[in-house]
Amino acid sequence: MPIYEYVCPGCATKFELLRSFRQADDAAVCPRCEQIAARTVSACAVFSRDDSGLVTSVAGTGNACGGCSATSCSTCSS
């Protein structure tokens, strides 16, 4: 099951829920103030190591990531 991230519009609490794909769009209640929270886009980095030990980026290779318009994480300002 995937982990979904949420942020509460009332108290700005960030939290995660382990949910099935079917539950992905179900309402999520903030554990702090009990308001309905909005699902956010999860940020992650994926790397791979080749036989020689060289580490390279796997996700978004050559393209902008979902979080910004930079073409690589090393040039991202956020």
Query: Is the pLDDT score of 12 beyond 80?
Result: yes
Torsion sign (Cα): 32, 1, 66, 54? positive
Instruction: Supply the pTM of this predicted model.
Output: 0.56
The number of helix segments (H) and strand segments (E) in the chain equals 0, 6
Question: In this structure, which amino acid lies at residue 69?
Answer: S
Give the model confidence (pLDDT) of 20-65 as tens digits: 999 988 999 999 999 999 999 877 777 788 888 888 777 654 444 5
pLDDT range class, residue 71, cuts 50, 70, 90: low
